[in-house]
Structure 1
Amino acid sequence: MSALLVPSSSSSSPVRPARNGDVALRTITAETYRAFLASPGGEALGAGFLQCPSWADVKEGWRSQLLGWGPDPEAGELTGVALVLLRQFPGTRKYFAYLPEGPVADWSDPDVGWLDPLLEHLRRTGAFAVRIGPSPAYRRWSAAGLKPLTGPGRRLGDVLASEVDPLGAAVADRLRARGWRRCGGDGTGEDGDAQPRHVFHVPLAGRTAQDLWSGLNQEWRRNVRRARKEDVEVVVGSAADLPEFCRLLAITERRDGFRLGRSLAYYERQYAALNAEEPGRMKLYLARHQGEILAAHTMITVGRRAWYQTGASADHRREVRPSNALQWRMLQDAHALGADVYDMRGVPSCLDPEERAYGLLRWKLGTGGQVVETLGEWERPLGGSANHALHHAFQAYLKRR
């Protein structure tokens, strides 16, 4: 694969920059990219960890580019950035371009004109299709409002949202007008999304630690007190504890009926890459009881946001509530770090208490936060009929894998 066609993310590209009026786009260095994220303008756009340069080192089987656009990207005059992951379609010199939860851009721009140089650049790179994950929210449901509205066969889409974000609705309309299609359709289905469409947020900005405690429901407060009474100890682990985390994760997957398909090597790579970019970016929290690790959860922080990424727990001694103890400590730590939001990541859209999937939502609702429906992921083929056909073939290929 040509280094010219798919430039390294560690250096500026020698290829001609794509332009749209006064907006130019080109590949940039990781240092320039990180400097933008740390700037006031970059912080205001709220990049997630999947758009950090380090995430490229986590994903095996993908090549990467770091892109920046603005008046003069080469001089660091940026208004947006994007980590693009590129997967080659077997037997061709064509690539699928994926921007997980990106790009990091001003989605309030009524023309979203910065998309044009991005698509032009990706076409020249050899991409036959591109998938993006716009950051604006679409709808929100408060925990207090959802709890009494559960019932047989019910889903989030059946319940009136407590808030509809006008920017999210406008961005969806703008993307459709430009030929983008929402992955999984425009209904409640999420089968086409690689990242969760529904996530759970606990707001932290402007709240005290006592406010967070009061925001927990009675069951959560009782469980945290129970863990404290049983002398459950919560500590921050290290890379040496990742094998135990993965062992507990395998137990959790069997018990709860899901499969992430991530190996120990994956988490070791993630832990090393994120913490090399910024020490303490990824932490592994452990809950011990009588000298045994009963639960382990990972937390990632970027700027003024914190994420609970993955949780794992043992099948035994669940009555001492190690997972509640872990989450309460992680909430407090995120608050102490100055995070505005604690993102507990994906939740199902199911509101039927009889369905197995509802248990995860019920557990997160107890923190008193809110379910947020993102815009989900959007795709469009690039170029003519040949690329359209290749896009359909690639989608079938990914399903078989």
Structure 2
Amino acid sequence: MTLRVGEITREQHLAFVVGQGSASHMQVPSWGGVKPDWRAESIGWTGPDGRIVGAGLVLYRSVPRLKRCLAYLPEGPVVPWHEGGLGRWLEPLVAHARTRGAFTVRMGPPVIGRRWEARTVKEAIADPAAVRLRDVPADTTDPRAAEVEKQLRALGWRPVSDGDGSGFSAGQPRYVFQVPLAGRSLEEVREGMNQQWRRNVKKAEKAGVKVVEGDSTDLPVFYELYRETAARDGFIPRPLAYFERMWRELRAEDPGRMRLYLAHHDGEVLSAATMLTVGSHVWYSYGASTARRREVQPSNAVQWRMMSDAHERGAAVYDLRGITDTLDEGSHLVGLLRFKAGTGGEAAEYVGEWDFPVNRVLHRAFGLYMARR
């Protein structure tokens, strides 16, 4: 079947995603509104009968002096990655991006190749000989991911380097941590946590920590905790306007797309987090906390409330998003990995982000530009 790629309406795009049951929150139309520095376009794959059989959100970013743009599909597009014959899906994508002035097309196939159980991750952290998660034998491997990579290379796509190897450097995280919810009772999810996590959740309950769902008026409270977290952990915080824009754009598309949770104790908000939902997939998006009164475990309380709500709403997976690939105890990121592994879920590795150089000269120039940054 010959496929054609062209612009579709936001309504068509959203209807297709909803029909799939789930997709990345970065592949719904509203995500384009969260990124005003990029020009967003909803695209669809159609067959001879005109029916939409695939969709994607493309973000175009002009590069200084080049007068051309990077076309980026974060964690997308939404096409049948495992049906084989990727060329009939990707060749018309590249052709469409060329008409939009793209010198490079970058995408992040939502394809997971390997998974490690929480127990395996914990043992790897404790093993002095283990340096990288990627070198630890996986508990499960999906051979279809290797086939996707093979096809991508044959079609001229190239993997994007993940920079310092932490798993966070190149676009979206290659390694994530997920808690399966489908087919499990909430008690089974709780029992799947390690002893420390269960103890902390119980400690928060006994201490009187109350987790409530907030609204847009609570975003400044969340943001103050987020700024404190950024200063403590050494990262550059996004501005408050970014979160206000996320709230406005995502919830205009679906009131349940974004939620905000706040942990109160003795009249003070000690921890807060945002949660995103698309179909049966739920993500823990941004977290924030104060260093005060950590002994009442507000962060564990927030996570447990979000997991509980996701389970109640029928989610199949609770996604804690990015984790580091490094197992070096000297890295502050290992503490985050240990925290997420305590939920009893599993680490997962995507096939990463891939580039197609539409114009090889400009593609190389862009690579040099990014390296200097």
TM-score range, shorter chain: over 0.9
Q: 1:187 to 1:234 in 2, by over 3 A?
A: closer
Structure 1 residue identity aligned to 2:56: A
CA contact (8 A) 2:270 2:289 kept: yes
1:183 aligns with 2:155: no
Aligned to 2:295: 319
Aligned to 1:309: 285
Q: What's the CA shift for 1:353?
A: 3.1
Q: Secondary structure at the match of 1:79?
A: strand
Q: Secondary structure at the match of 2:137?
A: coil
| Candidates 26, 33, 36, aligned match of 2:16 | 36
Q: 1:192 to 1:317 in 2, by over 3 A?
A: closer
Q: What's the CA shift for 1:400?
A: 4.8
Q: 1:361 to 1:85 in 2, by over 3 A?
A: same
CA contact (8 A) 1:183 1:192 kept: no
Aligned to 1:145: 120
CA distance in 2, matches of 1:250, 1:193: 23
What is the number of equivalent residue pairs in this alignment?
370
Q: 1:198 to 1:191 in 2, by over 3 A?
A: closer
CA distance in 2, matches of 1:269, 1:215: 36
1:114 aligns with 2:89: yes
Q: Provide Cα deviations, 1:55-103, integer angstroms capped at 9, x if missing partner.
A: 0000021111110012158x5x111101000011223431110000010
Q: 1:207 to 1:213 in 2, by over 3 A?
A: same
CA contact (8 A) 2:121 2:347 kept: no
Aligned to 1:221: 198
| Candidates 88, 105, 108, aligned match of 1:133 | 108
Structure 1 residue identity aligned to 2:150: D
CA distance in 2, matches of 1:186, 1:171: 22
Q: What's the CA shift for 1:243?
A: 1.2
| Candidates 49, 53, 59, aligned match of 2:25 | 49
Aligned to 2:243: 267
CA distance in 2, matches of 1:341, 1:395: 35
Q: Secondary structure at the match of 1:298?
A: strand
CA contact (8 A) 2:5 2:44 kept: yes
CA distance in 2, matches of 1:209, 1:377: 34
| Candidates 216, 219, 230, aligned match of 1:239 | 216
Aligned to 1:23: 3
Q: 1:242 to 1:186 in 2, by over 3 A?
A: closer
Q: What's the CA shift for 1:191?
A: 6.3
CA contact (8 A) 1:72 1:78 kept: no
Structure 2 residue identity aligned to 1:29: T
Structure 2 residue identity aligned to 1:143: A
Q: Secondary structure at the match of 2:76?
A: coil
Identity %: 48
Q: 1:192 to 1:231 in 2, by over 3 A?
A: closer
| Candidates 352, 368, 374, aligned match of 2:344 | 368
Q: Provide Cα deviations, 1:319-345, integer angstroms capped at 9, x if missing partner.
A: 100000000000000001111000000
Q: Secondary structure at the match of 2:94?
A: helix
| Candidates 255, 262, 265, aligned match of 1:289 | 265
Structure 1 residue identity aligned to 2:346: Q
CA contact (8 A) 1:184 1:190 kept: no
Q: Secondary structure at the match of 1:234?
A: strand
1:83 aligns with 2:63: no
Q: 1:173 to 1:192 in 2, by over 3 A?
A: farther
Structure 1 residue identity aligned to 2:15: A
CA distance in 2, matches of 1:58, 1:356: 29
Q: Secondary structure at the match of 2:52?
A: coil
Structure 2 residue identity aligned to 1:255: R
Please, what TM-score do these two structures have when normalized by structure 1? Answer: 0.89
Aligned to 1:348: 324
1:253 aligns with 2:227: no
CA contact (8 A) 1:33 1:53 kept: yes
CA distance in 2, matches of 1:196, 1:38: 24
Q: What's the CA shift for 1:399?
A: 4.7
Q: Provide Cα deviations, 1:223-271, integer angstroms capped at 9, x if missing partner.
A: 1111111100100011111111111111111212233x41100000011
Q: What's the CA shift for 1:348?
A: 0.5
1:193 aligns with 2:160: no
Q: What's the CA shift for 1:398?
A: 3.8
Q: What's the CA shift for 1:47?
A: 1.0
Aligned to 1:390: 362
Q: What's the CA shift for 1:388?
A: 1.8
Q: What's the CA shift for 1:186?
A: 11
Greater CA drift, 389-398 or 309-318: 389-398
Q: What's the CA shift for 1:396?
A: 3.4
Q: 1:314 to 1:388 in 2, by over 3 A?
A: same
CA distance in 1, matches of 2:63, 2:365: 9
1:280 aligns with 2:260: no
CA distance in 2, matches of 1:120, 1:158: 37
Superposed CA RMSD? 1.8
Aligned to 1:3: none
Structure 2 residue identity aligned to 1:389: V
CA contact (8 A) 2:163 2:169 kept: no
CA distance in 1, matches of 2:64, 2:234: 32
Q: 1:80 to 1:186 in 2, by over 3 A?
A: farther
Q: 1:186 to 1:193 in 2, by over 3 A?
A: closer
Please, what TM-score do these two structures have when normalized by structure 2? Answer: 0.95
Structure 2: segments with no counterpart, 5+ residues = none
Q: What's the CA shift for 1:132?
A: 0.4
Q: What's the CA shift for 1:286?
A: 0.1
